[in-house]
Chains A and B, each alone.
Chain A
Amino acid sequence: DIQLTQSPSSLSASVGDRVTITCRASQGISNYLAWYQQKPGKVPKLLIYAASTLQSGVPSRFSGSGSGTDFTLTVGSLQPEDVATYYCQKYDSAPWTFGRGTKVEIK
């Protein structure tokens, strides 16, 4: 099965900083990658699908890029409400594996 490796596992950044999270697949998955945000005590929220398509209603400071095996989620200007854990998920074929998550905190 294809594995997803997210890095870093956690990060601390200041408000206004540009934040980048990476997700690497052990084999190519074209652009079948999604990113989710999960705030403490809440259900996951879809941010991006097809590697770079912003889900409706998601702030434009979030962006995604990549194809094949290497993907990136970028928060253009970190806001206090972005404190959360972020997960990538592959969906080219089953199993639709999640990455282990990246916890984002405010410095």
Chain B
Amino acid sequence: EVQLLESGGGLVQPGGSLRLSCAASGFTFSSYPLSWVRQAPGRGLEWVSGISDTGRTTNYADSVKGRFTISRDNSMNTLYLQMNSLRAEDTAVYYCSAKTTVTRVPVYWGLGTLVTVSS
């Protein structure tokens, strides 16, 4: 069974940093491109960042470019999101998701981790 389990969320002050992790199991992690998608309370889905299966290619939404860094450790089956210079508008549930080579869009999703940026 495919499982994606996010961790690392919490309360942080504006300007602070957090590192999210997503531990994967039940599939060949190193073969799947991955993404982070967030959802602010009561709002819609927002794609944040994506990374290729090898980790060599990364992409970011303009809203987080230069502040967030996506990475992966295929030996540990783990996806990361380093978030710096956090702002109130970054408050959201952050989901990790895995694409398949067939669909090319996220099929598998974690349950999410809540990040709250507030003083």
Residue ranges of A at the interface with B (Cβ–Cβ < 8 Å): 1, 32, 34, 36, 38, 43-44, 46, 49-50, 55, 85, 87, 89, 91, 94-101
Cα distance, A100 to B44, chains bound together (Å): 6
Cα distance, A85 to B43, chains bound together (Å): 11
Cα distance, A46 to B98, chains bound together (Å): 12
Segment of B12-20, B23-31, B72-80, B104-112 engaged in the interface with chain A: B104-112
The answer to whether B95 has its CB under 8 Å from any CB of chain A is yes
Contact with A along B29-70 (1 / 0, CB 8 A): 000000101000000111100100000000111100000000
| Contact, CB under 8 Å: B45 / A43 | no
- The dominant DSSP class at the A interface is loop
Residue ranges of B at the interface with A (Cβ–Cβ < 8 Å): 35, 37, 44-47, 50, 59-62, 95, 103-107, 109-112
Residues from chain A with Cβ under 8 Å of B104 in the complex? 32, 49, 91
| Contact, CB under 8 Å: B44 / A95 | no
**Further contacts, 9 of them, CB under 8 A, given A44-B45, A95-B59:** A32-B104, A43-B112, A44-B95, A46-B106, A46-B107, A87-B44, A89-B105, A94-B60, A95-B61
